[in-house]
Amino acid sequence: MEFVLKIRTQLMGNTIGTVLNPMFPFKMLLRSYSLCILIVDVMWVVVNTNYAILQAVYSFFNPPPLKSLQTETALIIGSGRGVGRQIAIQLSELGAVVLCVDKNVTNNEDTVKLIRSRGGKAYIYECDIIRKENVMKMSEQVKKDVGFVSMLFYCCGIPSPRSLMTQPSQDIHETLDLTLTSYFWLIENFMPEMKERNHGHIVALTSVAGLSYIKDQMPFSVAQFAVQGLAESLMEHLRINKTDGVYVTLTHIYPFIVDENSDLRLRISSYFGTITPEKAAKSILDSVRRNYLEASVPKHLLYLGHILRILPRKATVLIRDLLDTGVDFA
């Protein structure tokens, strides 16, 4: 009994001491203020999240207008073939000055000749971007020739469906250097002036390997995941630095969609279908001209990628098995 009374007396003494403490009212006020600030912040996030959702729904049915590319100077890395070539051609038709960069001189010359024959303005540069010194030299020459580069399209590292299925995987260092590391060198050379002028657009192209692992292509899949992370990091960097005039567009190109071969057969052809490089380039430029942060070719598969991110692991595996295993060649 005496022990219980002793404990009660001690507790009462601590309570009275706390109440009589001259700092107690101030601490209570500070805690109340902090709680009010937290509630206001949470409400602000909830309201703006709902507004962003409504805005996204509205933009889906009423997309923003296409911006003009008449005064733009676009650097296209990998313009010698496929989607890169078509992007260069269509950019020139939209009035942009195009700078065609590729290590395959013959293919790149064909692209430039075609652009010039149609009245477009194009420059040609030979560069193996795997080596940093090559990128530095090319960048210096570009700036001497045309000055400010306002758009950067990075089309390297997007293989054809046939190469993914039939060719052995590349060396790990070569894959990472081509798909990712060289991108850093290009950004280091061209983005600072974009930020200084608060004007520019960087376009990153990734394949479906950036959303799902491709069989026997682990280095390539890792590199494509990294490109997606790089694009998202660029977006956040520009947001934090309040550079609202420089845009980043991440475009996922599904490798079994852009098809230049007639012997490609798909498990769900009615859903996937095939698309030519011309149509793929047009879809990419449409997203770029609307300043979309993320897009896909074809466009509707972007939502499939979002769904795969939120579903349980087992569910995503089942969907990937359904969509990824039905590709073969006749």
Give the CB-side neighbour count of residue 164, counting CA atoms within 13 A.
Answer: 27
Q: Is the pLDDT of residue 265 over 60?
A: no
Closest Cα partner for 198 from 237, 245, 265? Answer: 245
- Domains in the chain, number: 1
Residue 30 lies in a domain: no
Residue 302 lies in a domain: yes
User: Counting runs of H as helices and runs of E as strands, what totals does the chain give?
Assistant: 13, 9
Q: Is the pLDDT of residue 140 over 50?
A: yes
Q: Tell which wins on pLDDT, 45 or 174.
A: 45
| Peptide bond just before 298 cis, omega within 30 deg | yes
Tell me the CATH number at 82. 3.40.50.720
Phi, psi of 246 (to 5 degrees): -110, 125
Residue 216 lies in a domain: yes
Phi, psi of 127 (to 5 degrees): -160, 130
Q: Which of 6-10, 58-62, 71-75, 144-148 shows the lowest per-residue confidence on average (mean pLDDT)? A: 6-10
- Under 8 Å between Cβ of 64 and 289: no
The pLDDT of residue 64 = 86
Quick check: helix, strand or coil at residue 81?
Answer: coil
The pLDDT of residue 264 = 45
Q: What torsion do the CA atoms of 310, 311, 312, 313 make, to the nearest 10 degrees? A: -90
Instruction: Say what percent of the chain tops pLDDT 90.
Output: 31
Residue 57 lies in a domain: no
Closest Cα partner for 202 from 187, 216, 220, 181? Answer: 187
Which single residue is written with the structure tokens 């494509």? 224
Residue 31 lies in a domain: no
Residue 123 lies in a domain: yes
Beta bridge partners of residue 152, listed in sequence order: 75, 202
If you average pLDDT over residues 126-145, what whole number do you get?
A: 90
The pLDDT of residue 248 = 94
For residues 72 and 147, what is the distance between their CA atoms, to the nearest angstrom?
11
Closest Cα partner for 180 from 132, 235, 240, 241? Answer: 132
The pLDDT of residue 330 = 28
Q: Please report which confidence band the pLDDT of residue 325 belongs to, taking 50, 70 and 90 as the band edges.
A: very low
Tokens for 44, please give them. Answer: 């602000």
| Structural domain span for residue 214 | 73-329
Residue 179 lies in a domain: yes
Q: Is the pLDDT of residue 329 over 50?
A: no
Which tens digit of pLDDT belongs to each residue from 237-247?
Answer: 999 988 889 99
Residue 38 lies in a domain: no
Phi, psi of 205 (to 5 degrees): -110, 130
For residues 320 and 312, what is the distance between their CA atoms, to the nearest angstrom?
12
Q: Structure pTM?
A: 0.76
